[in-house]
Structure 1
Amino acid sequence: MKPVVAALAAAFLVAVTLIAVVRPARADERAWIVVDAATGSVVKAHRAQAQHYPASLTKMMTLYMVFDALAAGELHLDDTMYVSPHAQEMPPTELGLRAGDRIDVETAIKALVTKSANDAAVVIAEHMAGTEWDFAMDMTARAEELGLDDTEFRNASGLPNPYQVTTAQDMAVLAQALIDDYPGYYKYFSLKRMRYHGRVYRNHNNLLGRYDGVDGIKTGYIDASGYNLVASAKRQGRRVIAVALGGRSAGARDRRVADLLDVGFNQLPSQLPPVPKAKPGRGRYAVQVGAFASEPAAKRITKRALEEARSALAGGIRRVAHLSERDLYRARVTGLTSGAAEQACQRLKRRGMECLVVRGTPTQIADGS
């Protein structure tokens, strides 16, 4: 019996460990972060890496997947999507879609942004991946590529699931990716209302129109999470992103985020930094970090390279070039000395990134910022 007892004890310990790992914070354990969008630097944070249930902040990732597909030409705004019985069964908030109905992609986007419609989220998931589960797995994989290291998705809506977790820091990263990668589509987050079948649905983000400069992005609530909000505001060319998780009421959450945005704007420099230029005596070398099927992906990787090898790439310029003959986007950081390029590549390879030192034309003005 001893081996059996030992095996059961080991299994119990593993189970306890797993429960401890995935246990998110309680709804009343608040977390927040405010970030300077120009640099990605954290202005202020509290428990920003503690895991919480995202609730409908999940739909930010759902929409990022939609924008990815639109940019790649795999989806179009006027495509219509079938409403399944599973989608119809989604609890509020929802549009009241019925099995057999069809809804176009743009309407579904607006429904997620404003009404936070769970049924529309499932329609998107099933249209893009066949099942909501498969779409959630794709969401998690894409989140990992974006650097959301502490986030897991199990559905497309944010309805309760004990294994669907995130952090304030990860939500700030996701908001930044939505703004940087898809500025044209990010504008949907500024919609204050939408009309569908004769009814008007208002955006749940109460800071839109009430806080100067707020132009998105998403609220979320389930009992287990408390009241969550990611908001971004832009004033005089400066942008701040704030995230608050675990609010005790919608009003308290909104006040917290407004205060965080105030802190962010008060601590940012009063003037924008100058357009970056290559330093004198530099510019003959570059590091190439890959070629990608989409321009946003190439820009994202060059940005990551600058973050991962910050000291070696100081003064380097992000440059994304379209290789029309291969329909790829080449990602480079240019304007470097030979030594800096070699040092950067060594560092990036240690971080698991592809890197090649190339000699090219000096870069004087930032491109693809």
Structure 2
Amino acid sequence: MALFAMAAVVALSATGGASANSKYAAIVVDAKTGKTLYARYADSHRFPASLTKMMTLYMVFEALENGHISKSSRIPISKNAAAEQPSKLGLKPGSTITVGDAILTLATKSANDISTAVAEYLGGSETKFAQMMTNKARALGMKSTTFRNAHGLPNKHQKTTARDMARLGIALREHFPQYYDYFSTRVATVAGKRLGNHNRLLGRVRGMDGIKTGYTRASGFNLVSSVEADGRSIVAVVMGGRTANSRNAHMVELISKYMPRASRRGRGDLIAEPRTISPTRPVVASTGRIELPAKGAPTPDARPVEDIDPVYTDKIVVAAAPAPQPTPAARAVEMQIAEGDVDMVETASTVPSGWVVQVASLLSEAEARSFLDRTSREAGGILANATPFTEKFDNKGTHYWRARYAGFSSKNAARGACNALKARDIACYAVQQ
């Protein structure tokens, strides 16, 4: 009997082509016994991207549990927080957001501006908060994880492993069951904005209750999933997916294959709670001795790590479709592009002003053009009458290229096109050029 609604549509190998993808890593852990059911490059260093926000939320939940803040406590938005790159909620400097709304925003939209605001609120500065996060990681037995920020935008020193992310996923569920439902929130409204969860598997895989997606160009598409069904419980991690859909398909395959192998016995309690670390509270850094994880808890084996060079880019989530390796059809399309498709991308100087739709921000014009090509194919007729173009901009001394579409008659037309794109899992936003 099939356990999962999507399992029947998956026809890929868990290891097929994974070795050719240097960003790939995966693990499946029995959340009741701590047994590793599957692991591939699980102890090799990877970039967490927005999986970072799992730890940011752990710190928020701890502060709530210890009574140092409440859901109605208001977090100020600094100029530094408001200036973070997308994905963001877009609150203005000097405004505030409640802790409850901040949690919803991080769990759904994965907003970088709110992550920084939380860091400054709980740590005094993002640097101090990142050290608190790293201390907490060590206390939870995450021996291979170092945090340098609260949001996951690229930093070459911010690294983790699939095994450590599985530990964090288990710890969140074990230590904060009263707040864990936030991770299964599919839609939330904050500051008058409707926020959809980036995890497209929620509601499509039976028993899935979270946890978090993440993407930067350096990390690839990441996902941590928690599943409980038929008396069994697992946490699975896939990192470095080439597309959102390939990552999702691989995750479904791992869940379908290894969930039946999980034990119905065992009570969990695998991750020791770090009671000797000072509780998270506003503007107080953590200190103290690190507690060892509970006996029997899954811990990383000592293995060589792989170095990855960071690439700086916006956090944009766009879905497409294979496994850890492109399908033959996708490879054929890519070959056709490489052999010389007609370039229909214009520069910003030749595009009329008005409302436009942005789908990405990348490090080079060539990458932005390639992204527009892929988006146009995936969008079907939605962008048939729109004009793709690139636009250069600078941010803190780094050059970026926006990938945008023009030709919309009004704000409503641009927003309507963007909503249609989002329905196809293509991230975007409308803006006046």
Structure 1 pair 50/74, CA: closer, same or farther in 2 (3 Å)? same
1:101 alignment partner, one of 95, 99, 111:
95
1:36-57 Cα offsets, whole Å, 9 max, x none, are 1001110011000010000000
Superposed counterparts of 1:1-369, under 5 Å: 28-269=22-263, 272-273=264-265, 304-305=294-295, 307=297
Shift of 1:238: 1.4
Match of 1:108, SS state, is helix
Structure 2 equivalent of residue 319 of structure 1: none
Structure 2 equivalent of residue 347 of structure 1: none
Structure 1 pair 291/231, CA: closer, same or farther in 2 (3 Å)? closer
Q: Which runs of 5+ in 1 are unaligned?
A: 1-24, 277-288, 309-369
Distance in structure 2 (CA, Å) of the matches to 1:134 and 1:292: 18
Distance in structure 2 (CA, Å) of the matches to 1:195 and 1:291: 34
Which one has the bigger helix percentage? Answer: 1
Shift of 1:265: 1.3
Shift of 1:273: 2.6
Match of 1:175, SS state, is helix
TM-score scaled by length of structure 2? 0.58
- The residue identity in structure 2 corresponding to 1:211 is V
Match of 2:194, SS state, is strand
Q: Which runs of 5+ in 2 are unaligned?
A: 1-18, 280-289, 299-433
Shift of 1:223: 0.5
Structure 1 pair 213/294, CA: closer, same or farther in 2 (3 Å)? farther
Structure 1 pair 141/262, CA: closer, same or farther in 2 (3 Å)? same
Kept in 2, the 8 Å contact 1:26–1:225? The answer is no
Shift of 1:260: 1.1
Distance in structure 2 (CA, Å) of the matches to 1:94 and 1:198: 14
Kept in 1, the 8 Å contact 2:233–2:262? The answer is no
Distance in structure 2 (CA, Å) of the matches to 1:294 and 1:161: 26
Aligned Cα RMSD in Å?
Answer: 2.6
- The residue identity in structure 2 corresponding to 1:273 is R
Structure 2 equivalent of residue 342 of structure 1: none
Kept in 2, the 8 Å contact 1:27–1:225? The answer is no
Shift of 1:197: 2.8
Structure 1 pair 30/274, CA: closer, same or farther in 2 (3 Å)? closer
Kept in 1, the 8 Å contact 2:108–2:188? The answer is yes
1:142-193 Cα offsets, whole Å, 9 max, x none, are 1000000000000000011000000000000000000001111111000001
Task: Kindly name which structure, 1 or 2, has the bigger radius of gyration based on alpha carbons.
Answer: 1
Distance in structure 2 (CA, Å) of the matches to 1:228 and 1:47: 14
Kept in 2, the 8 Å contact 1:27–1:223? The answer is no
Kept in 2, the 8 Å contact 1:172–1:241? The answer is yes
Distance in structure 1 (CA, Å) of the matches to 2:227 and 2:36: 15
Distance in structure 2 (CA, Å) of the matches to 1:177 and 1:57: 14
Distance in structure 1 (CA, Å) of the matches to 2:221 and 2:260: 25
Kept in 2, the 8 Å contact 1:152–1:165? The answer is yes
Match of 1:177, SS state, is helix
Distance in structure 1 (CA, Å) of the matches to 2:143 and 2:277: 24
Shift of 1:267: 1.3
Q: How many residues align?
A: 266
Structure 1 pair 142/26, CA: closer, same or farther in 2 (3 Å)? farther
- The residue identity in structure 1 corresponding to 2:254 is L
Shift of 1:291: 8.0
Distance in structure 1 (CA, Å) of the matches to 2:132 and 2:91: 24
Distance in structure 2 (CA, Å) of the matches to 1:205 and 1:275: 27
Distance in structure 2 (CA, Å) of the matches to 1:139 and 1:104: 21
Distance in structure 2 (CA, Å) of the matches to 1:290 and 1:217: 21
TM-score scaled by length of structure 1? 0.68
Structure 1 residue ranges, 4+ long, deviating more than 6 angstroms after superposition: 289-295, 300-303
Shift of 1:114: 0.2
- The residue identity in structure 2 corresponding to 1:185 is Y
1:72-123 Cα offsets, whole Å, 9 max, x none, are 1111111001100000000100000110001000100000000000011011
Match of 1:126, SS state, is helix
Distance in structure 2 (CA, Å) of the matches to 1:268 and 1:114: 28
Structure 1 pair 77/275, CA: closer, same or farther in 2 (3 Å)? closer
Distance in structure 1 (CA, Å) of the matches to 2:22 and 2:262: 30
Kept in 2, the 8 Å contact 1:72–1:294? The answer is no
Distance in structure 2 (CA, Å) of the matches to 1:37 and 1:132: 31
Kept in 1, the 8 Å contact 2:86–2:112? The answer is yes
Q: Highest relative contact order (Cα 8 Å, sep 6+), 1 or 2?
A: 2
Match of 1:207, SS state, is coil
